[in-house]
Structure 1
Amino acid sequence: MNIARTLRNIRSYRATLNELSSLSQRELADIGISRADIPALARRSVR
């Protein structure tokens, strides 16, 4: 297991989660995302 890659993935997950969480409900609706979808989308960002 590559520790550097794992840390990079964690940072990417958190950055995506924070960025999407900071959007308003209206902004999320405009791009077709519900607040409940955010964790799954953040997980997909590290694949």
Structure 2
Amino acid sequence: MIIASNALIRRSGHANGAAALIGNVAQAVARRRAYRKTVNELSQLTARELADLGLSRGNIRATAYDSVYGTRQEA
């Protein structure tokens, strides 16, 4: 009986690990989409509109990265 219980625990552990992996991948994909959407939308703004936001073309990617991931991307 103990052996069967351990086998079930191990199997469910792997299932939970797989579910966590799938969840992590889905979250990474969603964040990447949000990053690309932010970059695309900021890129469509004029220089004047960017300046009104305190941005320049050169820092669009860093700003989008900060917005989505919450940390500054190292160059």
TM-score, structure 1 length as denominator?
0.89
Alignment-derived partner of residue 38 in structure 1: 60
Query: Which structure 1 segments of 5+ residues have no match?
Result: none
Matches of 1:10 and 1:45, distance apart in 2: 12
Extract structure 1 runs of 4+ deviating beyond 3 A: none
TM-superposition CA deviations, 1:4-46 (whole Å, max 9, x none): 0010010000010001000001111111101001000111122
Alignment-derived partner of residue 31 in structure 2: 9
Identical amino acids, percent of aligned pairs: 51
| Structure number with bigger Rg | 2
What do you get for the CA RMSD once the two structures are aligned? Answer: 1.0
Query: Is the counterpart of residue 29 in structure 1 residue 51 in structure 2?
Result: yes
**Residue identity in the other structure for 1:30:** D
Matches of 1:29 and 1:15, distance apart in 2: 20
Query: Which structure 2 segments of 5+ residues have no match?
Result: 1-20, 70-75
Higher relative contact order (CA 8 A, sep 6+): 1
Counting matched residue pairs gives 47
Matches of 1:32 and 1:23, distance apart in 2: 12
Higher relative helix content = 2
